[in-house]
Structure formats: C-alpha cells, structure tokens
Structure 1
Amino acid sequence: MRTTMRKILLTAAAAVTAFAAMPAIGAQAATKVESVLGTGTLGQFGSPTAYLAAAGNQRGQLGAFTITYPDGTYATGMSSCLVVDGKTAYLTGKILLSGGPRRDTNSWQRGKYVIIGVQDNGDGTVVADKLNFSTGTAANPGCGPDPAATPDFFIVKGNYRVTDAG
C-alpha cells in the first residue's frame, strides 16, 4: 500500500510541475501559479506526516495529498481547491483511499473531504513551518481558511514551500 501511495504522490507532483510550467493560452509570459509542495511531520497527535503537492491558476486546480501516521493510518486523495494567502495555504481534497486504526476516529472514509492548512516559514532552519488538518466531512467544505485546519502546530521534520500568485 505504501508503494501505491508513493506512486500517487509522485504522479501528482509530476503533474503539478508540468501544470505550473505551462504558459496560459495566448499569453506571452508564464502563468502565475499558486502552489504548495512539501512534507511535514508533527511531533504530537501521533506524529502524522502530510505530503502535499498542489497548484492552481485561472485554468483550475491540480494536485494530491497523503496524510500518514506511523501506526499505518493513512488518507490519500486529489485536491479540489487550493487557496494561498501570502505564505499560508489551504488545500481542500477528496479522499480516494484510506485505512488504518485511526481512519474512523478521523472520519477519513473514501469520498469525504479534508482540509489541510500549511504555513511556510522559510527553510525551517530558523522557524519551523506549521501544519494542521481537519477530520473528514461528507459535504465539500469549500475553499479557503477553515478553523478546523488553521496551521497552528509546528512541524518537527520536513519543509513546505508555498507560492502566492499575487
């Protein structure tokens, strides 16, 4: 299963890179793209790790996410929305695969939505990036900041890169 999750994430990352590099139709310059890319592990709540690769511009959104716990719990899926404000990003995604002992506790069943909030604080050498994610919801929560995913918790390992198109 871990191999499948890695393949999904690598495919999504490659697609995001290609998507971000394409110029807009009829435009002279490269399209401005909002994006979030990286991996971060929290030092609390069971030490979950969130892998994110998503980009969006006027043509739409593209990306994927995977959240894993050392106990084998995971949720992976495709992004449905990415909102970036400065160095903070909120990715909304639909769960495609999930499993493990925390699956029901986190309400991470297939077809549910999760929001992941990330704050990019540089390369992590001075101040670590921050992360948070919501439990699953049956209804699409939409785009943008959500109190359930406000990036309040410092990561202890990894780094995220958030790019604002504005």
Structure 2
Amino acid sequence: MKEITQLATKLGRCLQVLNAHVTIAESCTGGGITEAITRIPGSSAWFETSYITYSNREKTRQLGVSETLFTKGSAVNQEVVESMVRGAQKKSLSRFVVAVSGIAGPDGGLPDTPVGTVWLAFSVSNKVTTKLAYFTGNRNEVRRQTVMAALNGLLRRAAAEIDI
C-alpha cells in the first residue's frame, strides 16, 4: 500500500508540473488504480475521471469498444485494451490515459490467456503504446501488481515529458 501511495504521489507531482490530467479505464483492477490516485490529497488538480468497465457490455457502452473484439475468446487482448484507452482519451480529453484488462483469477484463465495475464495500454496526447504482463500470485497480488504497473507506466511517461 505504501509503495502504491508513493507512486501515485510522484505521478501527481509530475502531472502538476505539466499542468496535465490523467484518466483511467480499468477492468480487472475494479477501481484500484482510481482509488490509489484519489487517496492523494489534492488529486483533484490532476485526476480527471475513471471508467470502471468490468463487463464487456460496459466496455462497449462507456468506451466504445467494438463487440467484435470480444469474439477472440477473451476481453484480455491488445485490441480491446487499445480501444479502451482510445475511448477514454476521446471522452475525457486528458493528456495521459491508462487502460487495463486482465485475468486476476483464481478462475477465468484460458490456454492463450492464463490467470495473471494483463494488457496495459497507455495514451499520451493520443499516442498509444501497449504492454503485455504476466503477473503471479493470488487474485489480490495480481491486482496489486497491475495497479503498480499502471502507475509506474504513467509516471515514466509523465517524467519523460518534463524537461529537466
């Protein structure tokens, strides 16, 4: 918990220097990234909004993810997470956006997407990059590692934008 709070605090400092905001689109973390950010006093200065789209229906309704992207057997794939991040970027107009979709377990894994598989997509000023991660441990550990990866990814991208 302490490490996550420190990451969120550092992210907030960078975003304030940049006069930028962040938006979150999360599935497997169920609001964990948003909670980490909003536990920081003053986060309203740099946190825009979040979309907690746990079901495929809500990914489509809230973020505009095409239903055809779910026909590959799982919502945990690169195309879905890219669509999530683009939808959140478009709706919020934040400069920094992260989207996550994964299988936290203990059930739900498939041969191609075992438990612990998480896709992350980052968008900075509409430039999208993705990362595939394989986390280990129980459900809570996979979710915690996903929150850490999302915050670390945002922090790296925000810090890179600051001219030191």
Q: TM-score, normalized by length of structure 2?
A: 0.31
The structure with higher relative contact order (CA 8 Å, sep 6+) is 2
